[in-house]
Amino acid sequence: MSESPPPLAGVRILDLSRLLPGGACTRLLADLGAEIIKVERPEVGDDVRHEHPMLADGVSAVHQFLDAGKRSVALDLKDPADVAVALDLAARCDAVLESFRPGVAARLGIGPEEVAARNPAAVYVSLTGYGQDGPRAPAAGHDLDYCAYAGALSTVGTPDGTPAMSGVLTADMTGGTLAATAILAGIVRARTSGVGGHVDVALQEAAHWALALPTAQHLVDGSGWEPGRGMLNGALPCYRLYRCGDDLYLAVAALEKRFWARLVELLDRDDVVERRADPAVGEELAALFVTRPRAEWLALLEDEDTCVAPVNTLAEAVADPHLTARQVLVDVAGDGWEQRQPGCPVRFRDQQVSRQPAPGLGADDAWARALAAEEG
């Protein structure tokens, strides 16, 4: 059976965004077959081009991951002539993504109204920190700020109330995924109504979305999910982290009764099968797990229906045999370098995703200007 075309073949997106959230959005859409025209500042480009580590001769690994297979067009959006080119490109695209602070794109002359005047069916997505309105809308921020405002940082840390920073960029990656969802939803609507519309995606609200379960519970009973006290962040013996005898950790997620029953059976602790929510049981299991190294516990528990997993380092995670079997990581090669990258997490089983290296800054300028000049 021949391979099917990519699901987003024929979809073209003009990406005016910078940095991680917008880059992650169009990274996902590019993997699914969309043509991404990335607009960058002349001579400088997107800041991700300069992020370490470097693969070779100043080639950024971050840039290669985010921008592999996209097109690069260098335009100065403070120059009316270049804005006119960007608007001509928008007229030939299904969607436009931007990440300026509210009002900036309109002042530059490439806001939602200007794009709609040229292409009413274009979906215009504004991906910003705090949204298009509200008292915080003009403020600068990054993932840590959005997660702090959203309450996400109050759920991680130590039970004494000391918050912790996470290496998971919750707002940025969730926001990028929501922006991709908005683009696809808008394209579906535009193909039936002819109207793309302006979509407002805020990264603080993306963090709220990732925190939806504890927030929904708080709105009912006032609970706070402080570290070690929430249903899924340490309060339950059946759902917490346990230190082993070699100072490595296990993640125990035996939330349902059948998984908990199997776990305590294998631990020879059938006496606590009805006490999976009793904090005292958590301390008893903590004293048990610390008596043996993690590998021994995994040999006993990992292949059983116990929902027990190792707390892997990144080195262990990328070497996970399961991910290797599923070919989760993809290889990209350029001039004098090779890189292994996270692959697309959305899999159409009849399509094999491959990536080409990211383009040089302005590599598609001539192509883009020819496209912009086309009639029709």
If asked whether residues 306 and 341 sit together in one domain, one would say no
pLDDT of 354: 82
pLDDT of residue 68 exceeding 60: yes
Whether the bond between 53 and the residue before it is cis, its omega within 30 degrees of 0, is yes
Query: Average pLDDT of 96-124?
Result: 98
If asked whether residues 200 and 309 sit together in one domain, one would say no
If asked whether residues 77 and 119 sit together in one domain, one would say yes
pLDDT of 158: 82
pLDDT tens per residue across span 221-251: 998 888 888 888 889 999 999 999 999 999 9
Q: For the purposes of burial, counting CB atoms within 10 Å of the CB of 353, is it exposed (0-12), middle (13-18) or buried (19 or more)?
A: middle
pLDDT of 376: 64
Residue 220 falls inside a structural domain: no
Domain around 161: 12-210+328-373
Here the CATH number for the domain that contains residue 311 is: 3.30.1540.10
pLDDT of residue 57 exceeding 90: no
pLDDT of 178: 98
Residue 340, token pair as written in the block? 């292994």
- Within 13 Å and on the Cβ side, how many CA atoms surround 359? 18
Query: Average pLDDT of 268-291?
Result: 96
- Distance from C-alpha of 100 to C-alpha of 22, rounded to nearest angstrom: 11
User: Which residues lie across from 97 on neighbouring strands?
Assistant: 15, 125
Give one word for 19, left, alpha or beta, with left for phi > 0 and alpha for psi -120 to 50. Answer: left
Query: Average pLDDT of 117-124?
Result: 98
Q: Which residue has the higher pLDDT, 58 or 123?
A: 123
If asked whether residues 21 and 130 sit together in one domain, one would say yes
If asked whether residues 88 and 174 sit together in one domain, one would say yes
Q: How far is CA 35 from the centre of its chain?
A: 20
pLDDT of residue 170 exceeding 60: yes
Helix, strand, or coil here: 341?
strand
pLDDT of residue 69 exceeding 60: yes
pLDDT of residue 59 exceeding 60: yes
Catalytic entry in 145, 172, 278, 303: 172
pLDDT band with cut points at 50, 70 and 90 for residue 93: very high
In order, the DSSP letters of 306-336 are T-EEE---HHHHHT-HHHHHTT-EEEEEETT
If asked whether residues 298 and 333 sit together in one domain, one would say no
pLDDT band with cut points at 50, 70 and 90 for residue 195: very high
If asked whether residues 345 and 204 sit together in one domain, one would say yes
Residue 340 falls inside a structural domain: yes
pLDDT of residue 121 exceeding 50: yes
172 is known as an active-site residue: yes
If asked whether residues 114 and 143 sit together in one domain, one would say yes
Q: In total, how many domains does the chain have?
A: 2
Tell me what percent of the residues of the chain surpass a pLDDT of 70: 99
pLDDT of residue 1 exceeding 50: no
Residue 217 falls inside a structural domain: no
If asked whether residues 129 and 246 sit together in one domain, one would say no
If asked whether residues 107 and 159 sit together in one domain, one would say yes
Residue 350 falls inside a structural domain: yes
Query: Average pLDDT of 200-216?
Result: 96
Residue 145 falls inside a structural domain: yes
Query: Average pLDDT of 163-186?
Result: 96
User: Taking all residues of the chain, what is their mean pLDDT, rounded to a whole number?
Assistant: 95
What is the model's pTM? Answer: 0.94
pLDDT of residue 2 exceeding 70: no
Distances (CA, A) of 1 to 4, 163, 327, 351: 9, 53, 21, 11
User: Which residues lie across from 339 on neighbouring strands?
Assistant: 332
Query: Average pLDDT of 261-278?
Result: 96
pLDDT of residue 220 exceeding 50: yes
Lowest-pLDDT range, 30-34, 76-80, 171-175, 336-340?
336-340
Q: Where is the domain boundary, 272, 291, 318? A: 318
Tell me what percent of the residues of the chain surpass a pLDDT of 90: 88
pLDDT of residue 42 exceeding 60: yes
pLDDT tens per residue across span 144-166: 999 999 999 999 988 888 889 98
Give the DSSP letter of residue 60.
B
pLDDT tens per residue across span 294-331: 999 999 999 999 999 999 999 999 999 999 999 999 99
